[in-house]
Chain A
Amino acid sequence: MSEAELRALVDRVRRGRLSRRRFLRLMAAAGVAGPLAARLLPMPSAGAQARPAFAPTRRGGGGPLKVLWWQAPTLLNPHFATGTKDQDASRIFYEPLAAFDADGNVVPILAAQVPSIDNGGVARDGTWVIWNLKKGVVWHDGKPFTADDVVFNWEYAADPATSAWTMASYREIDRVERLDSHAVKVVFKRPTPFWADAFCGARGMLIPRHVFEPFKGANSRDAPANLRPVGTGPYRFVDFKPGDIVRGELNTAYHVANRPFFDTLEMKGGGDAASAARAVLQTGEFDYAWNMQVEDDILRRLEQGGKGRIVVWPTGNPEHIQLNTTDPFREVDGERSSTKTTHPTLSDAAVRAALNMLADRGAIQEEIYGRGGQTTANFLNSPSRFYSRNTRWEFSVERANQVLDAAGWRRGADGIRAKDGRRLRFVFQTSTNAPRQKTQAIVKQACARAGIELELKSVVASVFFSSDPANPDTYGHFYADLQMYNVGMNAPDPQVFMAQFASWEIASRENKWTGRNITRFRSDEYDRLWRAAETEMDPVKRAALFIRMNDLVIGNVAVIPMLWRNGVGAATTRLQGMDLNGWDGTLWRLPYWYKT
């Protein structure tokens, strides 16, 4: 394939005439490997949005939409919405400038169009971005939505006294300038390749200045609008009982013509996931239920009634086993798992390689998670342009035995391998959660066959995931040899996500174990790559940097990725148009939901 042909193809992808997947397939046919081909494509922005299948000619008429969140929303201010439940509930009423679709493309919502280098909206050096706002948008109270509101949201969220969970997205902004009534210029403190963080997606929902102005900073808790939202969204606020129910009614002045479809919306909270699945799949009392953390077998049985179906979509969240690089059982300067130590047995590359081969991802996916995940060898799995094709996983007790034999680990009388008096015996911990305990058991069995003894430990989730510096059982302390859980990626850009292997992020007593590098993995090369990606504006080079980071972590077996978790929801058969993805909230396409 000649360069000219190639350029033409890339151009067609950019203009949306050719799908990315089709492009990759064509390239594969021409003998260009997937990862290389993917790197040829520009970072998708302004992506051609697929036209919705359903084109109504008037607003409303769809009756009530009833959705079930088994964790009930507790507040409705998007800047305080710490959990997904609160972010989703806020999304009924509030909207960001732009949202993300399944490929991580930026889709305009309150912006007139998506800024790009081509249309002069993004600086070549990545230091600023200009957002043009959609005109004619009004808040639910009738006041117009303008550039002042956008500026205000930055001031509000970046103020440390507000303690907004969105702070990280806004504090990297030097200033937000109002260019005219419907245009703002966001100037970053440093070059920012991922400029679509602030004002986009779940962290980008905008609150009105005229309502929240008196409640900035320390008295932000007192704002009555924290519980009575005034937004621009498809539904207007009717009623909210924290921990129970949110109700909305059709916004007759919504800025998208002929949307939304439903006349009222009700989000009920509470209970448990299994009975929520029943209420949708079996009795049809509700139209949609969120986060179906229920075993796949049960879901399949509930689906047989034919009233509803399970919907799945890939996220960026890997369920993985972490290998401690430090010694969890030796105390140095008042802390265990200190970076001043190295692990007595896990520091041997052969042991780590053997463990990697003893995790039976196939069986775990098939027997336990079903549609809840896909097997993977990578820590960084999506969007597809960051997926490394250089890694692969295999499950082989035989090969693990060979590797350990070759490295001089001999079986003792009890069948457990040892070398120089150090036995291969590990404490493997995770949170209390049925699928995780089953996974532990599968790994333990395979390890036993290779002469490695695992002691299984499970910690109650509220303790395991807590940040209490005094509790030695949290995942951050990592006072065990191995541990397993799932980390959220939450953004279509891996910069923040991949910081969890950077040496300055190591969790320690000094930072009260708030550091996010839990494995205590240290590599100068990794640090360098991460720093380079932070400011690299060429999307192809940047993707290559992340793939290199992933390969470094996987090559060293710092972690054993098991599954790339899927988002799982339950919907009645008639409910359509949800377009769910792992980068934005469940309700990001709420105006386009409809029933057949």
Chain B
Amino acid sequence: MRRPLWILAVLLSHWRRHPMQLATLLIGLISATALWSGVQALNQQARIAYDRAAATFGGSRTAVLVSKDSATFPQQLFVDLRRAGWPVSPMLEGRVQIDGRSFRLLGVEPVTLPSEVGNAPAVGRGSLQSFVTPPGEMLVAGETLRDLGLREGERPQANGTSLPPLRLQAELAPGALVVDIGIAQDILKMPGQVSRLLVGKSKAPHATLESVAGEKLRLVEPSAESDLERLTDSFHLNLTAFGLLSFFVGLFIVNSAIGLAFEQRLPMLRTLRACGVSARMLNTVLVIELVSLALVAGLIGLVCGYFIAAALLPDVAASLRGLYGAQIPGQLSLKPVWWFAGIAISILGALAAAAASLAKAIRMPVLATAQPQAWQHAQRRWLIFQSATALAVFAVAAVLIQFGDSLIAGFAVLAALMLGAALILPMVLQIALAIGQRSARAPVGIWFWADSRQQLSGLSLALMALLLALAVNVGVGTMVESFSRTFLVWLDGRLAADIYISAASDTQAKEIKAWLRDRPEVDAILPGGRADTQLGGAPIEVLGLPDHTTYRDNWPLLESTANAWVRLRPGDTCLVSEQLSRRMKLAIGDHIEVPAPGGSWPLEIVGIYADYGNPKGQIAVNFAALTRRFPQTPQTRLGLRVAPDRIPALIAALQEKFGLDDRNIADQATMKRESKRVFNRTFSVTAALNAFTLGVAGIALLTSLLTLANSRLPQLAPLWAIGLTRRRLAALELLKTMAVALITALFALPLGLLVAWCLLAIVNVKAFGWRLPFQVFPLQLIELLAVAMAAALCAAALPVARLARMQPATLIRTFVNER
């Protein structure tokens, strides 16, 4: 037992003498683990929130009965089904406005709630009497209570009505308000109506659905994946892809540190073997050493990952709320599996990064054989093999672009492009440097190019990391900038009114409208409203637009029939959002049947419009037609056209007259500012991860150069001996690093643009349902090029400065101690 410990002590003594190398290895492992586990923590946090949402009274984890052609159906069907032995429980869902903000109201019937449905037992255990007897109770999550700014027992106001007193129920999803169904029917003004029936798991025999409800209802089976999980898959895939990329960039550092340590320890390993340590024992101890280091780095990485996740969580929550309406709590709560997985990924990553070195150690002959020529041949063969693999990977990407038709295929194209580019980079650099060497005339110039080529094998992994980080930065930067510019143009069209009002109730809205009609500065009052329904089994919004020139002139349509706005007036046509048209493969001229309270509403599609940032599908119809078909639609939203110089005075007057605060009234500029803020926050996570990846790539380059610096002395010392000053040698070393970094960065630019095209034309379309125009932003590219060169300069500065200050004695020792 003591033998392996002695060998381990010898192996570890190397790190004691080379602390910088140990730091490099640990930094690589810590960065890889931290970024990966940070992203996983964010994903896990979101999934916990989705589970809570799904478990809230009949989310997608419960089988439900819904109307075949209408948003609601009569309560009598529930009574009939119960009598026929069906274990059903009624539920009514709608939205209420509290202080100008929209909340999801769920009406449940606690006595019949199936025991396995979400929080049913908790409702039952609580004071059932006080829940069902007026004024009842309104169950909310802690986050919702905080959002409302109210305490338990207080009664919020909605549409002029007092809602039941609030009661905290921690397991509920944020944003949901749960009341007794009778109270919900009163609040939503839908007496005797039910949105769906939750179906319990009772095995008792019952009549068939058709025999009781005829053709009116259909059964929706439970799904293992919640609606939110499905919707947000692409977002989490995106995060995971970033995490994975950072992880691999971190592993590049580990690989280069371990590779160099192995090269430096070769004489030690041979001595150990000569002293009688068997190959098996040596390799076992090498693995133990690596696993121990990975364990330490993994633990530190996990702590860093926790802090990264905690720092990014507010932005991720904002992104998920902005893009999908998902409510994610702002505090991290992690399961034990996250900690174990983090340690496991650190160990597996370290073993993967060290695989080549460990394999070499297994095959290492005890006697050193100096065969530089053979080594060079092997390098050339490896380069050719690597380039051939790159071409094969590019071919796979081309096939996927041609035939792939899914989000996974989109990400696979991206992965293939990046992998192929990384693999072919050493060959590109070899060719570029060979051209440089051929054009050089002066001896130092020839050495400069030749030595750069020789250095490539040691630097190529770090340069690959730099290439990937830069390409991702260019790609994501171009995508975000394209999106940003398109979004701003779109926002100008969508927010065409000058003032937006959200009244507290329909009554107040009527009073405001009446008051506004007498104001000469108001050119137009544009009422708006929206209703929720479903199409093809998925929830959609029906948006009501008044027939007015504001919309006709500004509303951004991607494509439309002639006179689309005129054709919208009678109420038998609609416009559909781009994502809905892509999801349901709808085109102009197609007909859809929209379930409405009074029955199915047939509509012809006359236009398709962009609706960026909306997770739900949406259709736009004439406002008057909407209020006819969905009479319960709240009519609290108004847009006003006002002369620009009269806007502040009118807002002040409205606020004074109707007690409206900033949440209920805003001018166009404020709305746009807020939208841009939400937009920017949505991409701040991407920007942060981009910066992290570039930072890790910079560290990879720095550590490679630092670790290479020592092994380069035998190459540099002879030049110093024949008359090149240390300062000149340092300048040449710096120039060499900058040259290879520049070639890499120049190669990264077109690759990044290709990545951007993939994101815009494939991934975005599949993930969100919208396609954005591809644009190139030269200034942004120049900026990134400068950042890359600055990173290379920083990375090269330290080893070069060391060389410039190196004592002659150190260089002389190279000749004395060469082994």
Partners in one complex: no
